[in-house]
Amino acid sequence: MDFALTEEQLVLRQRVRDFAEAELSPGADRRDSTGEFPREAMEKIGKLGWMGLIFPPEYGGSGSDFLSYTLVVEELSRIDASAAITLLAHNLCASHIFAFGSEEQKRQFLSPLARGEALGAWALTEPGAGSDAAALQAEALPADGGWRMTGNKYLITNGSRAEILVVMASTDPSRRARGICAFIVAGDSPGLRRGKNIDKLGFRASDTAALLLKDVFVPADRLLGEAGSGFSQTMQVLDAGRLGLAAMAVGIARGCLEGSLAYARKRQAFGRPIGDFQAIRGMLADMATEIDAARLLLRRAVYLRDTGEPYTREASMAKLFASETAMRAATRAVQIHGGAGYTRAYPAERYFREAKLCEIGEGTSEIQRMVIARELLKTAKEGV
């Protein structure tokens, strides 16, 4: 869908597409098999300015809009979603600092993130706190000149590699959500231990680790925003994060469709290409239609964000539909490939494993439905 894009955005999309095919595609399957982090590719992405695309030039960014960012994510995900999710996690960290950090915090921490000189991570999830984010157990207790943080974080993307982290912890567990604060934590902080890359179903080349914090000192000037505002900050950051994940889901779904189209043209059965058969054509048509619908939902939510309008409901709708579209597209892609789709001979099985995370990360499909219904009921009550 090109009609809503500017010439500059079209050029950007083509640049990212060319980069992904040249730099990511050749080793994507190998990295998935070995768990090798795409370090060189991510360094190049940083030098190209895509790590800080949405941040103002005064902080080292490119000053682009969020639509341009989703174009980058979609094109990377079409080839290698592990690279895309690395970018998404980095931007959760950077966006949190940009939205709620002081001027000094932005200069000191956002700038190297936006320039691609440092990798960021965003640490919310814990072994016992996923969908129920307010149940986190990590604590930050007052100490001379700051806080002492203790707790465990789990499934943190970029966790073992990030130089700058935003970590959520409670300064008053009795207040649950109202006691949560967000802190900037340096990756080399004494007392911070990082686990190895977790062996996952998909996204095996992305860095996902547990963090163990034991008496980590956090200086007073590393608190983001007001004390006790960390949970509300987190919800706002997640709204934008869901748009990034929706773009990733659309990219994965596109990879499924394009691979299936190529296979349907060349694979012969009963003396004909399988693309001639109605059953295959029906699956291809459904994939293409749902992908376009998912992208349109995403574009609507992105438009609202870029114009400063509320977009919580629309972000959840886009994330919900795009993630489930990716899963359906991956299932159909494996089916179209038949037995070959169940092997590593084609990317279909990798897309299948990656698509599942889209229904879990940044709030599960069940959480998205709760958010959508809550927003609907809120507007109904207000008579809107």
Cβ-based burial of 16 (10 A; exposed 0-12, middle 13-18, buried ≥19)? buried
What are the C-alpha distances in Å from 6 to residues 17, 71, 252? 16, 12, 24
Question: How far, in Å, CA of 300 to CA of 309, rounded?
Answer: 11
Residue closest to 211 by CA, chosen among 149, 134, 271? 149
Query: In this structure, which amino acid lies at residue 368?
Result: Q
CA Rg value for the chain: 21
Question: How far, in Å, CA of 356 to CA of 281, rounded?
Answer: 24
Catalytic residue among 362, 366, 375, 382: 362
- Structure-block tokens of residue 92: 């959760």
Question: How far, in Å, CA of 38 to CA of 301, rounded?
Answer: 30
Question: How far, in Å, CA of 243 to CA of 262, rounded?
Answer: 29
- What is the chain's percent helix, strand, coil content, to nearest 5? 60, 15, 25
Question: How far, in Å, CA of 98 to CA of 52, rounded?
Answer: 11
Active site residue 359: no
DSSP run (H or E) holding 204 = none
Q: What positions carry a catalytic annotation?
A: 362
